[in-house]
Structure formats: structure tokens, C-alpha cells
């Protein structure tokens, strides 16, 4: 049961951080997977810390956990919508290039 909670916490951190990272890199041509993962962890930890600090003044317990989780998933959803249909593949492969996509990465 502890491993399930730990896995959910790590996924929540990465979801919040990946949402902010996607917002930052929404209009760039290239970025690598390691950079994205590291920024997701760093920014996700910061976002969750701020949400716990601010949310802790208004609620506690299960309500606080739910509010932080919903806010983190909302950050990921907003970032995905901010891309407006443009796909940013994390790897430079032939399959990642689409004809007419916003990011022409296959030169």
C-alpha cells in the first residue's frame, strides 16, 4: 500500500511539472527527454510545495490532497490544450514527424 501511495505521489509531481514544462517548451523546435524529465521533477516539486503551503491555510487532510492533485492534473491539461494540436515528439525518429505538423523536425 505504501508503494501505491509513493507511485501516485511521484506521478503527481511529474504531472504538474510536465504541464509547466510543456507550457515553457510549447513553441520550441527541439528539446530532449532528459531535459524534460529533469525540469518536470524540479518544477513539479516546486508547484506541489506552493500548493501545499497555500492550500494548507484553507483546508487539510484528504481535502488538501484532492485539491493539490486536481490542480496538478489541471496544469497538465492546460498545457496540453496550449499546444493547440501541435505535437512535440520527445525523440527524433521518422515516426515522430507528421506531414503538416507545427514542428518540422525531419528537415
pLDDT tens for each residue of 88-99: 454 444 444 444
Single pTM value for the model: 0.66
> Residue 82's pLDDT is what?
66
> Residue 15's pLDDT is what?
86
Listed as ranges, residues in the chain with pLDDT below 70 are 29, 82-107
Q: Give, for 11, the enclosing helix (H) or strand (E).
A: helix 2-24
Give the count of beta carbons closer than 10 Å to the beta carbon of residue 33. Answer: 10
> Residue 41's pLDDT is what?
92
Torsion sign (Cα): 59, 50, 24, 16: negative
Amino acid at each position: 500500500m505504501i508503494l501505491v501511495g509513493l507511485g501516485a505521489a511521484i506521478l503527481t509531481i511529474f504531472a504538474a511539472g510536465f504541464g509547466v514544462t510543456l507550457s515553457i517548451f510549447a513553441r520550441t523546435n527541439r528539446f530532449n527527454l532528459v531535459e524534460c524529465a529533469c525540469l518536470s521533477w524540479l518544477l513539479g516539486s516546486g508547484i506541489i510545495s506552493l500548493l501545499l503551503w497555500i492550500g494548507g491555510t484553507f483546508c487539510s487532510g484528504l481535502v488538501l490532497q484532492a485539491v493539490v492533485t486536481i490542480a496538478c492534473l489541471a496544469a497538465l491539461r492546460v498545457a496540453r490544450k496550449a499546444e493547440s494540436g501541435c505535437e512535440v515528439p520527445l525523440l527524433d525518429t521518422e515516426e515522430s514527424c507528421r506531414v503538416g505538423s507545427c514542428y518540422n523536425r525531419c528537415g
